């Protein structure tokens, strides 16, 4: 079988864009066969039939297009990727409760990477923790727990979870996000602790000293309520506050400091932070001590 290249225009008598055609010399044959042009990516496929242009005795003829034209056989191969989704174990809570979410990773293709998770949109002063975090490529589930919601105002919140790739296996995307909702409902306020006084605020700070420090005393010189933030700030005067720094040993401090109180929706005032004002040796400690 002999093959040659020509164009259709000279044979059909009108202008056509030049394309590859095949001329077949099939001595003694009476049927055309399916052949592929040398042009890349395309093929011509013809049903077996007698030549419409030349008698079989001539042993040659021009292929026409009674069959189908095959499109490019090239397929776009998508690189491996992943997606994440969030389901809620408990997302409607009363202030003070925890909200729990399950975050699931779905690999696409041969994707296999470790991921690190973060969350945005938390209401103040709530905190969040993923477990585990980060997760290896062989584990596709992590649990998000939202805590410290006692002073969170009632309402609906949208949390935005981001999963970021931290390994270098092939991946189409370096990060993906998903959203989940948090609803905080307010409980009926209790009568206890509904008013924060200088006396019970000072008692809460003294409880912190007795439990976390090695001795000392404190007085609150000023106490300012901040209703819009459901909080209060107290200005402190420490006397002979004794504590230990890991790298510098025992210390004794007399001087200023401050304390932050949060007003929980159940009516309680809670000491949430204490700090001294002695420069590089400052103590800043988060705590939960009821002022009563």
For position 244, what pLDDT does the model report?
Answer: 76
pLDDT tier at 194, thresholds 50, 70, 90: low
Kindly report which listed range (61-75, 96-110, 182-196) carries the lowest average pLDDT score.
61-75
pLDDT tier at 163, thresholds 50, 70, 90: very high
For position 227, what pLDDT does the model report?
Answer: 83
CA–CA distance from 250 to each of 210, 239, 240, 246 (Å)?
16, 15, 12, 9
CB burial readout 203-219, b (16+ within 10 A) else e: bbbbbbbeeebeebebe
For position 35, what pLDDT does the model report?
Answer: 44
pLDDT tier at 280, thresholds 50, 70, 90: low
In this structure, how many other beta carbons lie within 10 angstroms of the beta carbon of residue 184? 23
Can you tell me the distance from the alpha carbon of 179 to that of 171, in angstroms, rounded to the nearest whole number?
A: 22
Q: What is the 3-state secondary structure (H, E, C) of 136-172?
A: CCCCCEEEEEEECCCCCCCEEEEEEEEEEECCCCCCC
For position 74, what pLDDT does the model report?
Answer: 52
pLDDT tier at 1, thresholds 50, 70, 90: very low
Both tokens assigned to 144:
């998000």
Judged against a pLDDT cut of 50, whether residue 2 lies above it is answered with no
For position 70, what pLDDT does the model report?
Answer: 44
* DSSP bridge partners of 231: 226, 262
For position 199, what pLDDT does the model report?
Answer: 87
Percent of the chain with pLDDT over 70: 68
Run of H or E residues at 213: none
Average pLDDT over residues 47-74: 44
DSSP code at position 222? E
Question: Under the phi-then-psi rule, with left for phi > 0, alpha for psi from -120 to 50, and beta for the rest, what region is 230?
Answer: left
Per-residue pLDDT of 173-185, as tens digits, reads: 999 999 999 999 8
Nearest Cα neighbor of 203 from 270, 254, 265 is 270
Phi/psi of residue 260, nearest 5 degrees: -110, 130
For position 185, what pLDDT does the model report?
Answer: 84
Residues recorded for the chain: 292
For position 48, what pLDDT does the model report?
Answer: 42
Question: Can you list the pairs that 205-210 forms with residues at least 24 positions away whose Cβ atoms lie under 8 Å?
Answer: 205/234, 205/236, 205/259, 205/271, 205/274, 207/271, 207/289, 208/271, 208/274, 208/285, 208/287, 208/289, 209/241
Average pLDDT over residues 86-94: 87
pLDDT tier at 63, thresholds 50, 70, 90: very low
């Amino acid at each position: 079988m002999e093959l040659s290249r020509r164009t259709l225009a000279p044979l059909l008598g009108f202008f056509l864009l030049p394309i590859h055609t095949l001329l077949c010399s099939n001595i003694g044959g009476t049927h055309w066969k399916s052949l592929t042009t040398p042009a890349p990516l395309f093929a011509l496929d013809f049903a077996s039939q007698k030549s419409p242009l030349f008698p079989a005795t001539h042993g040659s003829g021009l292929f026409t297009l009674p069959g189908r034209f095959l499109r490019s056989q090239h397929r776009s191969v998508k690189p491996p990727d992943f997606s994440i989704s969030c389901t809620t174990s408990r997302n409607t809570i009363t202030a003070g409760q925890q909200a729990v979410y399950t975050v699931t990773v779905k690999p696409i293709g041969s994707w296999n990477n470790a991921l690190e998770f973060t969350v945005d949109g938390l209401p103040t002063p709530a905190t969040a923790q993923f477990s585990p975090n980060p997760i290896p490529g062989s584990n596709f589930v992590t649990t998000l727990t939202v805590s410290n919601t006692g002073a969170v105002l009632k309402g609906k919140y949208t949390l935005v979870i981001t999963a970021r790739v931290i390994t270098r296996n092939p991946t189409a995307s370096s990060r993906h996000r998903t959203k989940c909702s948090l609803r905080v409902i307010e409980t009926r306020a209790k009568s206890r602790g509904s008013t924060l006084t200088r006396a019970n605020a000072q008692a809460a700070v003294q409880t912190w000293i007795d439990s976390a420090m090695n001795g000392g005393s404190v007085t609150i010189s000023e106490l300012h309520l901040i209703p819009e933030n459901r909080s209060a700030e107290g200005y402190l005067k420490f006397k002979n506050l004794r504590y230990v720094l890991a790298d510098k040993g025992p210390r004794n401090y007399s001087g200023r400091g401050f304390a932050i109180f949060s007003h929980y929706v159940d009516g309680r005032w809670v000491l949430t932070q204490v700090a001294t004002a002695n420069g590089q040796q400052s103590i800043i400690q988060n705590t939960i001590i009821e002022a009563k």
